[in-house]
């Protein structure tokens, strides 16, 4: 366990001397036969290792793969000290530090081995390529209800086999919390929002930087003051509200300023005419995804968020039989709050400025009120420009109400957590049954930060297949140890500000993220569609955030989103499902220049991973498992080398 005073952990460069219960006894002097036997065995193992190394290298082509390991002396030492012996490594340590926070040229490209497939750099026109939200491809789909803004991924024969270039002049983002307020212009070279949203104080262009004053359409005094207004209406300080979702987030100022209150928001917006709004959010170091609420469920489990928010997000909440509000109800936790500001709230004051009639705005608000009532929500408060509704803690009274009013009907038997290309239904997702009106459906959550470490209700109630309380406790201890080991290999993990946006590609119960919660980082926890067990609901019950994803497709995010990517057994999971090189190319797309990668997997798989990484011009090495060299599972550490597009590169025609 991390922090224990017992036997030190194994690191790539040192290994503790084994101890025994009889270590206090005097050592016996080895006899001649023992020395001869030990010498023979050591020599045999040494030459066997050399033979295996040479045959492995030959079988893999002329490229060699070296695993960083340690060596111990053949003869037992007479020194009884418990200090680790001197060790040797067979490869140099990786440089995990950044070098391009100011204007620098591109990095020199090493000459790779001829046997390795080299992945060229894509044309500069793909610098902001989002494969599944490609503006050109989207035009082929139905524009009704914004369906064309949903995920529409390329066919296999359309996949790019090249590396997405960073724009010329790209620099490492500012460190958090400075990044909340300022970003490099070169990283997201779009001035459209500085003009379009100038009056609303979203973003300003100042020399070679963008500045984010924290303004928004409905909070001209800044997001901080706006959140203070919300805090006067509901309690944002006692830890009962931890996870939030912001629909139509703009540049995510609401989510950015919630972080100082220990509330983490999942912000999303489509890739639309507000060019690069989600990209700005990510550049600021704020959690965000490209997304739209249209015909498919949002990619989150049921009962995930303590609070949902819409500030003039332009979503027609009262239309289509209340479909969009029904979807918010699905992802909102029992007792959770929905906050609405902007049209039609406070229409009596703003109707002229909104250039709409009083009758139109009254009708819109009435539709919303009626849908909320049919969902059994109660109007919690409306004050000035903010209205708040609350979802019931259970459906006991709601069931009685629904016997009289069956629109929308209760959903039939279904999986409420299924949310990957799943069609939105105009029916009310039933909450888990309760024994009394006071009971919270699905179980009462602890307040933050206590909820991070207690058994999530989904697990304690036995609703996550194969995951027991004992499994959860063991997983928590396992990840304490693993993260401690990661930090011994990559000391930059302990340096505040080196990493901010982190992706865990196969999160299971969120143990990796839980052990980084005290660092100035946030982690997007992915539960793959192909995983045996859907654990994303339990991750949210811990006060963490995440989404569903199939790694046979591209992620709904911009290039250069993440500073660090972690993958536990991802390539084993996708063996014979999709191409390894396509997953690696996606990692290269969403990883920042000089970003880091940690991959855990079988050694044979990691050797293949490393060959592709070499072709991507990453610096990488394979090191032993934290339990020592006898484990087949190894660890792959890599750094994406810095490179950008040339200063002037004409875009090729398609």
DSSP one-letter string for 245-296? EEES-TT-HHHHHHGGGT-EEEEEE-SSSSTTHHHHHHHTT--EEE---SSB
403 vs 504, more confident: 504
Distance (Å) of CA 604 to CA 12, 579, 610, 635: 19, 16, 10, 11
Quote the pLDDT of residue 42.
58
Q: How many CB atoms lie under 10 A from the CB of residue 199?
A: 9
Banded model confidence at residue 115, pLDDT cuts 50, 70, 90: confident
pLDDT band at 94 (very low <50, low <70, confident <90, very high): confident
Q: What is the pLDDT of residue 36?
A: 63
Supply the pLDDT for residue 113. 56
- Dig out the tokens for 229 from the structure: 């207004």
In the chain, % of residues over pLDDT 70:
79
Tokens of 617: 């011009």
Most confident stretch, 29-38, 189-198, 276-285, 502-511: 502-511
CA gap 283, 187 in Å, rounded: 8
Q: Are strands 618-623 and 633-640 parallel, antiparallel or unpaired?
A: antiparallel
> Which residues neighbour 71 within 8 Å (Cβ) at sequence distance 6 or greater?
87, 88
Q: Residue 269: which residues within 8 A CB-CB, separation 6 or more?
A: 248, 249, 250, 277, 278, 288, 290, 291, 292
* Pairing status of strand 386-390 against strand 378-383: antiparallel
The answer to whether residue 20 scores a pLDDT higher than 50 is no
- The pLDDT confidence band at residue 22, using thresholds 50, 70 and 90, is very low
* Residue 568: strand pairing partners: 600
Alpha-carbon gap, residue 546 to 78, rounded angstroms:
53
Q: What is the predicted pLDDT for the residue at 19?
A: 36
Band (80; pLDDT cuts 50, 70, 90):
very low
- Angle subtended at Cα 571 by Cα 138 and Cα 489, rounded to the nearest 5 degrees: 115
Q: Is the pLDDT of residue 75 over 80?
A: no
In the prediction, which pLDDT does 194 show? 62
- The DSSP annotation for 367-390 comes to HHHHHHHHTT-EEEEEETTEEEEE
> Has residue 459 got a pLDDT over 80?
yes
Least confident span in 95-104, 330-339, 499-508: 95-104
Strand pairing report for 209-211 and 182-184 = antiparallel
- The pLDDT, as a whole number, for residue 397 is 87
Q: 453 burial class (0-12, 13-18, 19+ CB within 10 angstroms)? A: middle
pLDDT at 202: 72
* Least confident stretch, 195-204, 219-228, 527-536, 621-630: 195-204
Q: Which residue has the tokens 């080299």?
A: 118
In the numeric block, the tokens 């080196």 are attached to: 498
Question: Strand order in 182-184's β-sheet?
Answer: 182-184, 209-211, 204-206
* Mean pLDDT, range 542-570, rounded to an integer: 98
pLDDT per position as a tens digit, 368-422 = 999 999 999 999 999 999 999 999 999 998 876 666 666 788 898 889 999 999 9
Q: How far apart are CA 613 and CA 607, in angstroms?
A: 10
pLDDT of amino acid 191: 82
Nearest one of 326, 133, 333, 177 to 245, comparing CA atoms: 333
As a whole number, the mean pLDDT across the chain is 85
Give 213's contacts (C-beta < 8 A, 6+ positions apart). Answer: 181, 201, 202, 203, 204, 222
Mean pLDDT of 177-189: 95
Cis peptide before 536 (omega within 30 of 0): no
Whether the bond between 348 and the residue before it is cis, its omega within 30 degrees of 0, is no
Quickly state the pLDDT bin for 559 (edges 50, 70, 90).
very high
Question: Using 50, 70 and 90 to split pLDDT, how confident is the model at 265?
Answer: very high
Interval 470-484: pLDDT, tens: 999 999 999 999 999
CB 441 within 8 A of CB 393: yes
Dmax (CA) of the chain: 103
User: Residue for token digits 């045996």?
Assistant: 532
């Amino acid at each position: 366990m991390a922090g224990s005073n017992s036997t030190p952990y194994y690191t790539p460069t040192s290994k503790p001397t084994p101890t025994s219960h009889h270590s206090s006894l005097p050592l016996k002097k080895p006899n001649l036969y023992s020395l001869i036997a030990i010498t023979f065995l050591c020599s045999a193992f040494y030459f066997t290792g050399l033979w295996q190394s040479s045959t492995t290298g030959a079988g893999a082509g002329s490229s060699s793969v070296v695993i960083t390991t340690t060596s111990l002396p053949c003869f037992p030492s007479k020194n009884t000290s418990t200090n680790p012996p001197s060790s040797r490594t067979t490869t140099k340590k990786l440089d995990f530090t950044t070098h391009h926070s100011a204007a620098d040229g591109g990095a020199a490209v090493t000459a790779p081995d001829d046997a390795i497939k080299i992945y060229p750099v894509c044309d500069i026109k793909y610098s902001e390529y989002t494969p599944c939200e490609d503006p050109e491809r989207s035009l082929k789909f139905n524009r009704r209800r914004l369906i064309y803004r949903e995920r529409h991924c390329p066919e296999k024969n359309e996949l790019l086999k090249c590396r997405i270039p960073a724009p010329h002049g790209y620099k490492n983002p500012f460190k958090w919390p400075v990044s909340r307020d300022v970003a490099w212009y070169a990283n997201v070279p779009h001035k459209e929002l500085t003009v379009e949203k100038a009056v609303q104080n979203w973003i300003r262009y100042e020399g070679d930087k963008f500045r984010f004053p924290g303004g928004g359409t409905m909070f001209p005094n800044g997001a901080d003051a706006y959140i203070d207004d919300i805090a006067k209406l509901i309690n944002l300080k006692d830890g009962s509200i931890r996870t939030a979702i912001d629909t139509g987030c703009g540049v995510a100022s609401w989510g950015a300023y919630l972080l100082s209150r220990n509330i983490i928001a999942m912000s999303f917006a489509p890739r639309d005419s507000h060019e690069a709004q989600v990209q700005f959010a990510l550049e600021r170091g704020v959690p965000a995804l490209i997304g739209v609420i249209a015909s498919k469920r949002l990619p989150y489990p049921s009962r995930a968020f303590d609070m949902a928010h819409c500030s003039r997000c332009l979503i027609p909440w009262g239309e289509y039989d209340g479909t969009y509000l029904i979807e918010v109800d699905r992802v909102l936790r029992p007792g959770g709050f929905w906050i609405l500001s902007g049209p039609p709230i406070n229409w009596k004051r703003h109707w002229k400025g909104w250039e709409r009639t009083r009758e139109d705005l009254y009708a819109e608000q009435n539709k919303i009120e009626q849908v909320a009532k049919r969902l059994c929500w109660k109007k919690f408060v409306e004050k000035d420009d903010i209205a708040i509704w609350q979802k019931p803690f259970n459906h006991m009274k709601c069931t009685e109400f629904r016997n009289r009013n069956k629109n929308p009907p209760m959903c039939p038997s279904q999986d409420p957590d299924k949310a990957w290309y799943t069609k939105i239904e105009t029916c009310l997702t039933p909450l888990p049954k309760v024994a009394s009106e006071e009971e919270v459906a699905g179980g009462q959550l602890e307040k933050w930060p206590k909820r991070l470490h207690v058994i999530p209700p989904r697990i304690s109630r036995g609703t996550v297949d194969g995951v027991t309380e004992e499994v959860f406790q063991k997983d928590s201890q396992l990840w304490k140890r693993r993260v401690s080991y990661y930090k011994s290999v990559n000391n930059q993990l302990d340096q505040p500000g080196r990493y901010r946006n982190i992706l865990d590609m196969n999160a299971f119960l969120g143990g990796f993220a839980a052990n980084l919660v005290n660092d100035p980082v946030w982690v997007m926890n992915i539960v793959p569609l192909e995983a045996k067990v859907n654990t994303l609901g339990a991750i949210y019950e811990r006060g963490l955030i995440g989404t569903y994803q199939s790694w046979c497709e591209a992620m709904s995010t911009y290039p250069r989103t993440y500073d660090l990517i972690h993958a536990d057994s991802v390539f084993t999971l996708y063996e014979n499902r999709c191409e390894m090189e396509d997953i690696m190319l996606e990692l290269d797309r969403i990883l920042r220049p000089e970003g880091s990668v940690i991959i855990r997997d079988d050694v044979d798989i990691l050797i293949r991973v490393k060959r592709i990484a070499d072709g991507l011009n990453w610096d990488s090495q394979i090191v032993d498992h934290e339990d020592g060299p006898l484990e087949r599972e190894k660890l792959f550490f890599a750094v994406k080398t810095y490179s950008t597009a040339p200063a002037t590169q004409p875009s090729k025609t398609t």
